A and B are shown apart, each in its own frame.
Chain A
Amino acid sequence: MTMKLKQLTTAFLAAGLMFMISCKGKPKDSDVQAAVTTALQTTPGVSADVKEGVVTLSGTVSSQADKDAAESAAKLSQGVTSVVNNISVTPPAPAPAPDTTAASMTAPADVALKTSVDAIVKDFSGIKADVKDGVVIITGESKADRWKRLKIALDALKPKKVDASGLTITK
């Protein structure tokens, strides 16, 4: 009986000791998180979430190589047991043509164009303007000389087209 109790106590002690060691050897998620975040600094656009040593990577990169690099970097970080790679790869938009002519012809984004158009058109009562796919659509009515001034201003914004088919010229 005494022997059995002694054995049990030893077993408990051993288990306890092992538990303590394993606890000590297991870094906190916050430490792992910090290490992984540092490791991922070379691959922007990627974020990491750490749970019990398991790192889940997410975000968007421009190539598979970047995705793999982020995973390798995370794996090498201290305290990481495994890595779940949820990074999505989105290839970058094709580079604009080096031809300066083509570049200058590229109409600005509709939003930016609309802002510029609105700033001009607000001074021309009776005329309304809308922007769609880089085309400025003019409606309403105006005297010829006012419309000419507006058209000069609009063309300077380099739109794809100024569509005035909905405009009536008054005498």
Chain B
Amino acid sequence: MALQDKYKELIDAAKTSGTNNLQVNEQDGVLHIDGEAPTGAVKDQLWDIYGKIDPNFLTGDVVLNINVATAVEGAKLKVITESSNLNIRKGPGTDQPIVGKAAHNDTVTLISKSNDQWWLIRTSSGAEGYAYAQYLKPIE
């Protein structure tokens, strides 16, 4: 329970901000927080609170997995890679052949979610394929 006390502000913020399917579990000394934030801004806010309680996330006692509810089919997504282009692949997996690329900061359209990690998208030039979800952020 100590961890839930330490991260009380984070858990409370998740609850009050309308995060759906919120799950808070403590396992092997790590607090797992899962949920679906209503917007990308709420997700950012939760991460800011987490960073305030545990500066630079170095303690390693939280795994914060927050999806964004606005990432629905047809949504516009921004490519948030480090700086490089985002690979568009034939299938969901890094072993799949690359069929196209989306530029850094480019806008793409979400077609469907294969799973949490791989989303089927369409680029502005019309190329379709799977891209890594972590590099895609819903535009609100």
Tell me whether A8 is interfacial, beta carbon within 8 Å: no
Determine whether the beta carbon of B23 is less than 8 Å from that of A156: no
B47-87 vs A, CB cutoff 8 Å, 1 = contact: the mask equals: 10001000011101101110100000000000011101000
Smallest Cβ distance from B51 to chain A, in angstroms? 7
Q: Which of B9-17, B27-35, B120-128 contacts A (4 or more CB under 8 A)?
A: B27-35
Q: Which residue of A is nearest B87, CB measured?
A: A119
Contact with A161, one of B56, B58, B60, B117 (Cβ below 8 angstroms): B60
Determine whether the beta carbon of B94 is less than 8 Å from that of A151: no
Q: Which of B88-126 contact A (CB under 8 A)?
A: 93-94, 116-117
Smallest Cβ distance from B5 to chain A, in angstroms? 19
Tell me whether A75 is interfacial, beta carbon within 8 Å: no
Contact with B117, one of A124, A157, A167 (Cβ below 8 angstroms): A157
Name the residue among A101, A123, A153, A169 with the largest chain B CB count within 10 angstroms.
A123
Tally of contact residues, A, Cβ under 8 A = 31
A123 in contact with B81 given A101-B23, A104-B23, A148-B47 (CB within 8 Å): yes
In the complex, A157→B93 CA distance in Å? 14
Contacts A155-B64, A160-B27, A160-B63 supplied; 20 other A-B pairs, CB < 8 Å? A105-B32, A115-B93, A116-B117, A120-B132, A146-B82, A147-B56, A152-B134, A155-B65, A156-B65, A157-B117, A158-B32, A158-B34, A158-B65, A160-B30, A161-B30, A161-B60, A161-B63, A162-B60, A162-B63, A165-B60
Q: Which residue of B is nearest A142, CB measured?
A: B56
Tell me whether A164 is interfacial, beta carbon within 8 Å: yes
In the complex, A82→B8 CA distance in Å? 70
What residues on B are CB-neighbors of A163 within 8 Å?
Answer: 60
Q: Which residue of A is nearest B94, CB measured?
A: A119
Smallest Cβ distance from A87 to chain B, in angstroms? 36
- Chain B: interface secondary structure? mixed
Tell me whether A159 is interfacial, beta carbon within 8 Å: yes
Tell me whether B37 is interfacial, beta carbon within 8 Å: no
A-B residue pairs in contact (CB < 8 Å), sample of 20: A104-B34, A123-B81, A123-B84, A148-B47, A152-B47, A152-B64, A155-B63, A155-B64, A156-B117, A156-B133, A160-B27, A160-B28, A160-B30, A161-B29, A161-B60, A162-B63, A164-B56, A164-B57, A164-B60, A165-B58
Tell me whether B4 is interfacial, beta carbon within 8 Å: no
Tally of contact residues, B, Cβ under 8 A = 30
What residues on B are CB-neighbors of A124 within 8 Å?
Answer: 82
Smallest Cβ distance from B131 to chain A, in angstroms? 11
What residues on A are CB-neighbors of B67 within 8 Å?
Answer: 156
Determine whether the beta carbon of A147 is less than 8 Å from that of B57: yes
Determine whether the beta carbon of B58 is less than 8 Å from that of A169: yes
Determine whether the beta carbon of A169 is less than 8 Å from that of B56: yes
